[in-house]
Amino acid sequence: MMLFSILFGLLLCLLPHGRGHSILAHSGKSELASRDQLEGLITWDKYSMIIRGERMFIFSGEFHPWRLPSPGLWLDIFQKIKALGFNAVTFYTYWGLVEGTRGQVRFDGVFALDEFFKAAAEAGIYLIARPGPYINAETAMGGYPGWTARIRAPLRGDDAEFVNTTELYAATVGKLIADAQITNGGPVIMLQPENEYDTWPNVNNSDFPAQENREYMEHVKQQFKRAGNVVPQMVNDHLYQGNWAPGSGLGETEIYGIDAYPLRYDCAHPDIWPTIRWPENWQTMHQEYSPNTPFFVAEFQGGSGTSFGSVNADACNALVNQESVRVLWKNNYSFAIKIFNIYMTYGGTNWGNLGYRGGDSSYDYGAAIKENRHIWREKYSEEKLEANFFKVSPAYLTAIAGNASNGSYVSTDQIATTLIFGTDFSTNFYIIRHAIWTSTDTTSYKLNILTSIGNMSIPQLGGELTLTRRDSKIHVTDYDVGGVNLVYCTAEIFTWAKDVSGKRTLILYGGAEEVHEFAIDLTTMSRASIETKLNDTNVKVQKIHSDALVVQWKVSTDRRILKLSNDFEVLLLWRNDAYNYWVTELPAEAPTANYSSPPKSTVVVKGPYLVRTAVIDGETLRLTGDINRTVDIELIYEPTGKVKHISFNDEPLQGDLNGDGKLTARLDFRAPEITLPDFTTLKWKYIDSLPEIQDSYDDSDWVTCENPSTNNPQSLLTPTSLYASDYGFHSGSLIYRGHFTANGEESTLFLNLTGGNAFGYSLWLNDVFVASWDGSDEGGGEPTHNDTISLSSHTLGNGKPYVFTLVIDHMGQDEEAPGTDVIKAPMGIMNFDLAGHAQSDVTWKLTGNLGGESYHDLARGPRNEGAMFAERQGYHQPSPPSQDWEVSNPIINGIKSAGIGFFTTTFDLDVPAGYDVPLSFVFANTSTAAIASNYRCQLFVNGWQFGKYVANLGPQTTFPVPEGILNHNGANTVALTLWSLDVGGAKLGGFSLEPEMPLWSGYRKPWSSPQPAWQEREGAY
């Protein structure tokens, strides 16, 4: 079937397309057939998605498998997203990584999708596929292969030349996704053709989308339908203007979604919240654009990216933090959204030069799950509280949004309230926030609401409610707790559950020192043992209206458990204590299995760092998860009433009932003993990686820059093209050699270079260092730099041949552009002028990675290598031919002059079984030194480029490398390219391998990603 899909795609490429010829080939019958195939599996209405007959709030986290090139760890990420209470993951596929060579699509090795689909199914995570072809995602060229920069046709338009380039990729990835659809027993429930196709290519066109854009969008839709995709197709509208919504005409999709990044990207000032993108009136716009589909936020800001010379990911986490989750997410709920995707939930790494020109090696993104896979950021816990609430709130799934207003339902106009009206249920949801949403004030208020037992001013038992800085609340009325009516509740609901005997457990939480109140309708519960007298001065209990019980308490760090009857228990928690609770779904029979399906049986456990899975086996609750300290595991709720024992990661625990009657067991943590290498004492081997400046160097095998024209939209300023993309070099670094014959008038050399934000370059004349640019301009690392370089100190012999050697750091192409095809902006030499010479007097030769688009290392992909000599030879891979190389240490010795040195060493690791220990390579921070060293260093781990450290700019000094790339139990090869931009050379200020918070873990130990060793490369120069 795969062969058929590929041949079908090739056949499509031969069809006669072009302007004046429709690229469309579709029938409404196929869409009707798709809906028939989805019968009983997926449907939707104006309220929500319905999966296998159950309404669901689709809570999704963005995770890109190719940013974690260790497939054995994908299950770990899925389980951590599932533990949030999420039930879906949205993912891009990256065309540029799988078709680096035109006509050869390689979904194999770490780029294969089968393991991704398998891990998602095992964790019980539904998938929303976003194959592009354009993805943005802060990737080089927005995810396009580098070779698309050479075609004349505009990208993302209906020109046949461009459209035909997408056919093989679309057919191949489309078939892979189709095979993993829910209709075939897989996890894929939705697909997005294209991405944010509303701002490019006709951003200045007032009638966007124009007919050609509509035809292209329709064609992309049909590509995936032809490949067998029948799940609903969705769109993410970047500008929220109704483009591609159902009923909008040609190119329309079935589910309309929007994007929003309201906190923007200034991580350097994380406490300053911008106000220009505050989401408001979304429910009105949704009714205008797509009233018959669920309200879908396809991308909502979960963090922000980092860049060279700026701040690190922790600052981006501080910008998009737990407060933003409370305020902005709850504001979103006020619009009655029912499909919600967080970009990013796990970011990962821009390994192998896959990022765009404005990013650094990290794609941590300040996300809830860190780049090293840790989950200890507070916003992870805040997200968990909110997601779990909606899993037990079916009334929200058919609720509709009202309008926000200041002072309505509350006693002060300093607070805004939005009422979400129940339709199929009597439940209402009141979203409370400050009227000035960025406020850091603390405001007291009373809540004035209508309930099933009348109008009320709350709190009824005295005092006031409190809204603290950058906080928001969800108050509920007439909320069903397993048949018991919660008349109102000002505290927030984490979860509730009802066991086989009918006993209900309700967990509420609030901020420290806040006063909260709830009321129970006594007519809906057993009166057998209601306790109205409590020996607790912080808790008041009073019966009102003859049939209602009101409870008020002041939140403290001490937990309170109220047993209001034999079958109703309420836990009153401080919010930070609630963070330690886990709601874990129990597996069900196929086909539901581990997927969420409300209502579904759960257990509630307190204590561990993470709970991954739970299974009840007779009288034993078997848990898997992680701990980072000795901890008591407390069983708060289980549905059978039979559990008497607990095991954790297959270790039986000694359990006892505590004072609250809960089964509790102590789990001891023993820190692992790990021996890590000392890189100052290891034996490093060294070789010069810039032989190109030697007189004896032969560049006859290099590409001669002789193309007299270019398809690039940027016109040539030189007699022949010097654009790297025109010769098939798209990543890493670039080296030019300019040959000329001196005439004695060479006083200056002007260079206009492009390398991406914060790029650098170094220039030699024969073997003499001339100049460097360190990338630190005041414009924030602009991608283009001009220099007029004096050559007056270099005496050139008249009539003698000379060579300029120019090394340029390639930081990645742009991800998007404000107009047609600016994304093709070339890299390398844009222009030059050698005094006393015509431009044609200089013959330029060029190299990038060996082979260019015919790259050698298929396992690690098309962007992993650059132009440096050691990379072209493959010496960064394990087992290079280093027997006769010099012994030299990059920390102690370094290199003595401007140039590029290559260093490699090996070491063994033996991490004890059962422990997940994230390990990171750490460079000493020299960017803040009084005199910063101007050097750039690439980090290779077992052949994989896992970081670019720019010493004078930073900010990134810590480079996590996942297990599977780094062998935690075996041999490892580390290699460094050390490029000094200073005449005096450079050495590392420090370099180490450091552990980050070890976990005794129930994770599945990953297998090693492919690590092919060095082999002599044919044609290497």
CB atoms within 10 A of CB 128: 25
Instruction: Supply the pLDDT for residue 33.
Output: 55
Residues 447 and 541 in one domain: yes
Burial class (CB in 10 A: 0-12, 13-18, 19+), 927: buried
Which of 29-35's residues contact partners 24+ apart within 8 Å by CB, and which partners?
30/225, 31/225, 33/230, 34/225, 34/230, 34/231
**What is the per-residue pLDDT across 962-978, written as a single tens digit (0 to 9) for each?**
999 999 999 999 999 99
Same domain, 539 and 624: yes
Q: Which of 593, 605, 606, 592 is nearest to 638 (CA)?
A: 605
How far apart CA 948 and CA 449 sit, in angstroms, is 57
Q: What are phi and psi of 486, to 5 degrees?
A: -85, 100
């030069």: which residue's tokens?
353
The pLDDT of residue 132: 96
**Alpha-carbon radius of gyration of the chain:** 31
* Phi and psi torsions of 329, nearest 5°: -65, -40
Quote the domain boundaries for residue 511: 394-667
Pairing of strands 651-653, 703-704: unpaired
Report the number of distinct structural domains present in the chain: 4
Residue 742 lies in a domain: yes
**Predicted confidence (pLDDT) at residue 27 exceeds the cutoff of 70:** no
Place of tokens 């789990």: 667
CA angle 346, 349, 350 (to 5 degrees): 130
DSSP string, 176-213: HHHHTBGGGTSSEEEEEESSSTTSSS-TT-TTPSPHHH
Share of the chain above pLDDT 70, in %: 93
Alpha carbons 852 and 758: distance in angstroms, whole number: 23
Dist CA 674 CA 140 (whole Å): 38
140 Cβ contact list (under 8 Å, min separation 6): 96, 146, 353, 354, 355, 356, 357, 730, 731, 812, 813, 815, 863
Tokens of 451: 């309930």
What span, in angstroms and rounded, lies between the C-alpha atoms of 1021 and 1019?
6
Give the SS3 label for residue 184. helix
Beta carbons of 979 and 762 less than 8 angstroms apart: yes
Give dist(CA 314, CA 209) in Å, integer: 39
Each residue of 427-472: pLDDT tens digit? 999 999 999 999 999 999 999 999 999 999 999 999 999 999 999 9
Kindly name the residue from 218, 254, 299, 815 that is annotated as catalytic. Answer: 299
- At 495-548, the pLDDT tens digits run 999 999 999 999 999 999 999 999 999 999 876 455 545 567 789 999 988 899
pLDDT at 928: 60
Q: Mean pLDDT throughout 867-894?
A: 98
Residues 214 and 90 in one domain: yes
The answer to whether residue 115 is catalytic is no
Q: Kindly tell me if the per-residue pLDDT of 37 is higher than 90.
A: no
Quick check: 287 and 303 in contact, CB under 8 A? Answer: no
218 catalytic per annotation:
no
Please check whether residue 573 is in contact with residue 553, taking contact to mean a CB–CB distance below 8 angstroms.
no
What's the pLDDT score for residue 531? 53
Confidence at 237, pLDDT banded by 50, 70, 90: very high
Yes or no: say if 835 and 162 are a contact pair by the CB < 8 Å rule.
no
Which two tokens mark 195? 């991405």
Q: Are residues 70 and 157 in the same domain?
A: yes
**For residue 35, pLDDT beyond 90:** no
Neighbours of 984 (CB within 10 A): 11
Residue 30 lies in a domain: no
Residue showing tokens 């991580």? 267
Residue with tokens 């709190």, as numbered in its chain? 459
Q: What is the mean pLDDT of the chain?
A: 93
Place 204 in a pLDDT band, splitting at 50, 70 and 90: low
User: How does residue 822 score in pLDDT terms, banded at 50, 70 and 90?
Assistant: confident
Statement to judge: residues 916 and 793 lie in one domain: no
Q: Residue 801's beta-bridge partner residues?
A: 741
CB 668 within 8 A of CB 704: no
Q: Are residues 710 and 618 in the same domain?
A: no
Domain shared by 577 and 663, yes or no = yes
Give CA–CA dist 808/753, Å, rounded: 8
Same domain, 797 and 889: no
557 in Cβ contact with 568 (< 8 Å): no
Read off the pLDDT of residues 80-115 as tens digits, 9 standing for 90 and up. Answer: 999 999 999 999 999 999 999 999 999 999 999 999
Q: Beta strand pairing status for 54-56 and 58-63?
A: unpaired
**pLDDT attached to residue 7:** 33
Angstrom distance (rounded) from CA 534 to CA 531: 7
Looking at the predicted structure, is the pLDDT value of residue 1010 above 50? yes
**pLDDT at site 527:** 64
Q: Which two tokens stand for residue 292?
A: 């018959």
Read off the CATH number of the domain in which 467 is found. 2.102.20.10
Q: What is the DSSP string of 62-109?
A: EE-GGGS--GGGHHHHHHHHHHTT--EEEEE--HHHH-SBTTB----G
The stretch 72-78 carries a mean pLDDT of 98
724 and 828 Cβ atoms separated by less than 8 Å: yes
**Buried b / exposed e along 152-165 (16+ C-beta atoms within 10 A):** ebbbbbbbbebbbb
712's tokens: 């690039």
Whether residue 30 has pLDDT greater than 60 = no
Asked if the structure places residue 523 within a domain, the reply is yes
Instruction: Report pLDDT for 926.
Output: 76
CA 717 to chain centre: 39
Strand partners, 651: 648
pLDDT at 673: 96
Q: How far is CA 954 from CA 351, 927, 931, 980, in A?
A: 17, 6, 14, 15
Cα–Cα separations (whole angstroms), residue 180 to 76, 114, 346, 703, 705: 20, 8, 22, 43, 45
Select the more confidently predicted residue: 544 or 71: 71
Lowest mean pLDDT among 11-25, 286-300, 639-653, 759-773: 11-25
Counting Cβ atoms within 10 Å, is residue 987 exposed (0-12), middle (13-18) or buried (19+)?
buried
Tokens found for residue 942 = 């077992």
User: What secondary structure letter does DSSP report for 326?
Assistant: I
Same domain for 436 and 312?
no
pLDDT digits (tens, 9 = 90+) for 348-390: 999 999 999 999 999 999 999 999 999 999 999 999 999 999 9
Same domain membership, residue 375 and residue 229: yes
Residue 268's CATH number = 3.20.20.80
Instruction: Provide the pLDDT for residue 11.
Output: 33
Cα–Cα distance measured from residue 264 to residue 369, given in angstroms and rounded to the nearest whole number: 20
pLDDT, tens digit (0-9, with 9 covering 90-100), for 614-655: 999 999 999 999 999 999 999 999 999 999 999 999 999 999
Q: Is residue 676 part of a domain?
A: no
656 CB-contact burial (10 Å; exposed 0-12 / middle 13-18 / buried 19+): exposed
H/E stretch holding 324 reads: helix 322-324
Which of the two residues, 823 and 200, has the higher pLDDT score? 823
Average pLDDT over residues 182-191: 98
Q: Is residue 275 part of a domain?
A: yes
Does residue 449 sit in the same domain as residue 588? yes
- Which pTM does this prediction carry? 0.96
Residue-wise pLDDT for 10-20, tens only, equals 333 333 333 33
pLDDT above 90 as % of the chain: 89
Torsion of CA 831, 837, 839, 845, to 10 degrees: -90
Is 43 inside any structural domain? no
When pLDDT is cut at 50, 70 and 90, the band that residue 778 belongs to is low
Q: Across-strand partners of 963?
A: 966
Catalytic residue among 196, 215, 514, 816: 196
> Is 452 found in the same domain as 350?
no
Is 90 exceeded by the pLDDT of residue 25? no
Q: What integer pLDDT is reported at residue 252 of this predicted model?
A: 96
The answer to whether position 1011 is within a domain reads: no
Residue 677 included in any domain? no
Report the C-alpha gap between 731 and 743 in whole angstroms.
35
